[in-house]
Amino acid sequence: MQNNAIFCLEMSNFAQKEYDTIVCGAGPAGLMAACTLGRLTGTARRVLLLDKKAPWKEPIFCAEAVSADRLAALWPIDPAFVRGRLSGIYFTSPKRYRAEFYSKNCGLILNRALFHKSIADAAQNHGVECHFDALIHKLERTESGWNVQVSQGGESVTLTAKTIIDASGPSCRLTRNIPCLEGIETGDTDLESGIFAVADGIEHSPEHIELFFGSEFQDGYGWIFPRDGKEVNIGFVLGKSVKNGEPLRQKLMNFIAKNYPKATVKAVYGGMIACGQSNKPLAKCGLFKAGDAASCVNPISRSGIVESLLSGKIAAEAVDQWLKDSGENRGAIEEATLARWMKALGKNHLQIANAKAGFNSITDEQFDKAAKRLSRLPREKQTLIRIFWNVLWSCPSVIWKMRSFLR
């Protein structure tokens, strides 16, 4: 019997059963949270990072574009995880008028798998115990903290932790129906569907992302993002209230066939994007939310990589304070987590979220008019201020669109 128990523990492969912090999910938010916590606490704390899959082994449902400056402020850019560098965006209207925003080295296309690997390696070097084959079944509040039910290699184990960081992404329900967490952000504010194909045979600029607007992509937008000079990521996101009879995959295939008849589709992926900002608490009872699980995505551009890194960092810093505190100020530390996020990006996201309805009401004619005007300007004349006045003159509501994408 005893031998069996030891066998189970070895099979489950955890160094211990009791941790200071268990980070649930190893996307950008969880990886950054674990790495930051490891860096802040060293070997003084037992930090465990769990994911059901290795974050660099399976396809990642993402177009992989980030702002170079904003990423560099959070994580050193290593050419090893950069697929390509961006120098601009094409905004394309329904009638295919194209406005170009040129800004040298404004963004990067990541190889997210290798990017995840670099953060995971850093977390492990900071003493974080990582398991990328551990499915989390349930979180349960106890008197002294949290129970975490996990299965690994067919074996189940219950681990305990004083604090939890929930970075399990947009559709996970780990924190639902736990009475002490009532009112906390659940990561499903404005949940929207995105789909894309990896394809080649599509003529494109390897230095630009191209965004398509109009009723074809209602309350969202379409995109072509370069990957390696040959392949592209081509896809779209639609607003959550869009009732479209046509399945997303079919819609994508039709878009590709109609506009890029020479394209070869290699694979199709889809996922949910949590793109609404709320004012709900981000931490309660020693549980902290980060990334898509905390609805930290930019509500209009739908970018969430850098946002998740930042929110993971904020959650980890709060957990570090919480663990150091004797108990008196823990409630205040939890409350301050939302305030810190709001100051860093959340307030800005709230404004963007509030502008979303107005932005979504821009008509195809308005998009065409603004894009046609702008497309006539030579690239060197497309300074931000000139674009701003041009667009304002053509269609005031488009200003909101420019504002959120150029942020």
List interacting residues with ligand FAD (CB under 6 A). Answer: 25-30, 50-53, 55, 61-66, 135-136, 167-169, 172, 194, 196, 235, 271, 273, 291-293, 297, 303-305, 308
Please say whether the beta carbons of 282 and 184 come within 8 A: yes
Nearest-angstrom CA–CA distance, 394 and 374:
10
Q: Cβ of residue 4: shortest distance to ligand FAD, in angstroms? A: 25
Q: Which two tokens stand for residue 362?
A: 């821009």
Block residue for tokens 């074809």: 216
Residue with tokens 């990328």: 132
Closer residue to ligand FAD (CB): 139 or 402? 139
By beta-carbon proximity to ligand FAD, the closer residue of 134 and 263 is 134
User: How long is the chain?
Assistant: 407
Nearest distance from C-beta of residue 362 to ligand FAD, angstroms: 22
State in angstroms the smallest separation of the CB of 373 from ligand FAD: 28
321 and 340 in contact (C-beta within 8 Å)? no
In the complex, least distance from residue 95 CB atom to ligand FAD, rounded to whole angstroms: 25
DSSP annotation string for 20-33: EEEEE--SHHHHHH
Which uninterrupted H or E stretch holds 271?
strand 264-274
Task: Region of 153 please: left (phi>0), alpha (psi -120 to 50) or beta.
Answer: left
Handedness of CA 156, 162, 167, 170 (dihedral sign): positive
| DSSP-derived secondary structure for 287-345 | EEE-GGGGT-S-TTT---HHHHHHHHHHHHHHHHHHHHS-STTHHHHHHHHHHHHIIII
**Beta carbon of residue 223, minimum distance to ligand FAD (angstroms, whole number):** 8
Choose between 65 and 370: whose C-beta lies nearer to ligand FAD: 65
Between strands 129-131 and 47-50, the pairing is parallel
CB of 292 to ligand FAD, least distance (A): 4
Closest residue to ligand FAD using C-beta atoms: 304
CA distance 51 to 26: 6
Considering the complex, what minimum distance in angstroms separates the CB of residue 2 from ligand FAD?
29
Residue 201's CB is within 10 A of a number of other CB atoms, namely 14
> CB of 82: closest distance to ligand FAD in angstroms?
14
**Residue 97 or 213 with smaller CB distance to ligand FAD:** 213
Nearest distance from residue 258's CB to ligand FAD, in Å?
A: 21
What single DSSP character describes residue 81? G
Cα gap 89→402, rounded to integer Å: 11
Tell me the closest approach of the beta carbon of residue 344 to ligand FAD, in angstroms. Answer: 15
Cα(309)–Cα(71) distance, integer angstroms: 9
Q: Which residues contact 204 (CB under 8 A, 6 or more apart)?
A: 210, 224, 226, 232
Q: In angstroms, give the least distance from the CB of 245 to ligand FAD.
A: 21
Q: What whole-number distance in Å separates Cα of residue 257 and Cα of residue 69?
A: 36
Bridge-based pairing state of the strands 232-238 and 129-131 = unpaired
Closer residue to ligand FAD, CB minimum distance, 349 or 369? 349
Backbone angles phi, psi at 332, to 5 degrees: -65, -35
Nearer to ligand FAD, 222 or 366 (CB): 222
